[in-house]
């Protein structure tokens, strides 16, 4: 039994290039969207901190700033496509949604504006976590 190549080498090369360009575009789009979501969540977390400080200093301000600086560093590592940072961000994103989400009702009764900001932060973190889980977003990571 013999097999024949029914496509020319040029056709095969063109198909590979077309699929590669489409896959690279999809990968870039998912990665960019995830980074935008992370950036918005990070910016809103500073707004959230400002709203928390308006209600009174419940926590030391230095701890609030340090935690946001560390998360910003983590997100920078995700932007540099470091694999470990991507997975830590996914885990922290899902954990924050699971742990903070149920408390939004109580926050809404106490301070509705802060609850809206917290809810938006959770939506962006969840979206970024889902996008970072995509197999297309995981290519070309270190």
What is the pLDDT at residue 137? 54
Percent of the chain with pLDDT strictly greater than 70:
75
In this predicted structure, the answer to whether residue 21 has a pLDDT above a threshold of 70 is no
- DSSP 8-state secondary structure symbol assigned to residue 23: H
The predicted-structure confidence for 62-115, as pLDDT tens digits, reads as follows 999 999 999 999 999 999 999 999 999 999 999 999 999 999 999 999 999 999
Distance CA 56, CA 77 (A): 33
pLDDT band at 14 (very low <50, low <70, confident <90, very high): low
Q: What is the pLDDT of residue 96?
A: 96
Q: In the structure, what pLDDT confidence band is assigned to residue 123 with cuts at 50, 70 and 90?
A: very high
Quick check: 58 pLDDT over 70? yes
pLDDT, greater one: 126 or 24: 126
Average pLDDT for the chain: 83
Distance CA 91, CA 71 (A): 13
Report the Cα–Cα distance between both ends of the chain, in Å, rounded: 44
CB-CB contact of 129 with 104 (8 Å): no
Report pLDDT for 6.
Answer: 47
pLDDT value of residue 20: 55
- What contacts 130, CB < 8 A, 6 or more positions away? none
Question: What pLDDT does residue 10 have?
Answer: 61
pLDDT of residue 11: 56
């Amino acid at each position: 039994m013999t097999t024949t190549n029914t496509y020319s080498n040029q056709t095969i090369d063109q198909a590979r290039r077309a699929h590669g360009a489409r896959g690279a575009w999809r990968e870039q789009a998912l990665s960019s969207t995830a980074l935008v979501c992370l950036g918005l969540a990070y910016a809103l977390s500073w707004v959230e901190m400002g709203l928390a400080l308006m209600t009174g200093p419940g926590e030391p301000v230095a701890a609030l700033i340090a935690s946001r600086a560390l998360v910003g560093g983590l997100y920078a590592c995700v932007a540099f496509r470091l694999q470990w940072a991507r997975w830590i961000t996914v885990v922290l994103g899902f954990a924050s949604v699971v742990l903070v989400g149920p408390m939004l009702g109580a926050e809404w009764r106490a301070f509705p504006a802060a609850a809206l900001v917290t809810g938006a932060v959770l939506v962006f973190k969840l979206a970024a976590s889902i996008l970072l889980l995509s197999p297309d977003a995981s290519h070309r990571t270190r």
